[in-house]
């Protein structure tokens, strides 16, 4: 679905129109440089930022980019679901949108104070066996500073001391059990296989 939706938006980009999903709801246009956008969409390339202090790189592959009439950049992300979104569904993507906003700023693209999530869910099937989807665009406020804090906290955690296991931690108990199951395999040599 992601690829189909990207092609749909790229068709609008080629003719300079605003997709029906956004028409009359947002003021601006789609980001027009398809070559750059395709690089930023790539899961192995994406939008990048490398922290100079630690050398750690953050990468995010965006679905699309909307440019406001003020020249600010809003991440645009497609979400497909089997049912209509609930009132708070967009909140589950807040960190992702904040991080995209942070990445835009670090790539010299002044971020808008919002992102756009478009939730697509099926309504039915027409007589030609085409599935009809209902698009539901949602404007989400973003905080690029929150995106930066998430990144820096993750870097601190990854580069910090390994914590001592705790009996009260479910993950610690799970990791210990998983490690015990792996020991017999780790003790075998390659010749044993």
Q: Give me the domains of the chain, ranges plus CATH numbers.
A: 2-165 (3.90.320)
- Token readout for 131 is 């599935």
Q: Is 163 left (phi over 0), alpha (psi -120 to 50) or beta?
A: beta
Of 44, 123, 143, 113, the closest CA to residue 83 belongs to 123
Taking CA 65 as the corner, what is the angle to CA 5 and CA 35, rounded to the nearest 5 degrees? 85
Of 89 and 106, the structure prediction assigns the larger pLDDT to 106
Please check the confidence at residue 24 and state whether its pLDDT lies above 50: yes
pLDDT on residue 87: 87
- The proportion of the chain whose per-residue pLDDT surpasses 90, expressed as a percent, equals 75
CA gap 187, 193 in Å, rounded: 12
pLDDT on residue 175: 81
pLDDT on residue 191: 47
Strand duo 114-125 + 73-80: pairing = parallel
pLDDT on residue 69: 96
pTM of the model: 0.83
Q: Where are the beta strands (DSSP E) in the chain?
A: 28-30, 47-50, 57-60, 64-68, 73-80, 114-125, 131-141
pLDDT on residue 181: 62
CA gap 82, 154 in Å, rounded: 32
Of 60, 63, 74, the closest CA to residue 28 belongs to 74
State the pLDDT confidence band at 185, using cuts at 50, 70 and 90: very low
pLDDT in tens, 128-181: 999 999 999 999 999 999 999 999 999 998 898 877 888 888 888 888 888 776
């Amino acid at each position: 679905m992601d690829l189909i939706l990207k092609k749909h938006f790229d068709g609008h980009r080629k003719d300079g129109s605003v997709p029906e999903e956004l028409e009359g709801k947002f003021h601006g246009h789609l980001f027009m440089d398809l070559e750059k956008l395709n690089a930023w969409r790539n899961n192995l390339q994406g939008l990048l930022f490398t922290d100079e202090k630690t050398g750690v790189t953050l990468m995010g592959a965006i679905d699309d980019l909307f440019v406001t009439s003020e020249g600010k950049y809003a991440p645009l992300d497609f979400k497909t679901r089997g049912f209509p979104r609930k009132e708070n569904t967009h909140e589950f993507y807040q960190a992702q949108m904040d991080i995209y906003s942070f990445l835009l700023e670090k790539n010299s693209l002044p971020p808008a104070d919002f992102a756009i999530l478009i939730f697509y869910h099926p309504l039915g099937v027409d007589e030609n066996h085409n599935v009809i989807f209902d698009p539901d665009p949602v404007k989400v406020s973003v905080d690029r500073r929150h995106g930066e804090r998430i990144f820096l906290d993750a870097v601190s955690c990854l580069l910090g001391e390994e914590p001592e296991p705790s009996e009260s931690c479910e993950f610690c108990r799970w990791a210990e059990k998983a490690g015990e199951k792996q020991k017999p395999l780790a003790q075998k040599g390659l010749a044993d296989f």
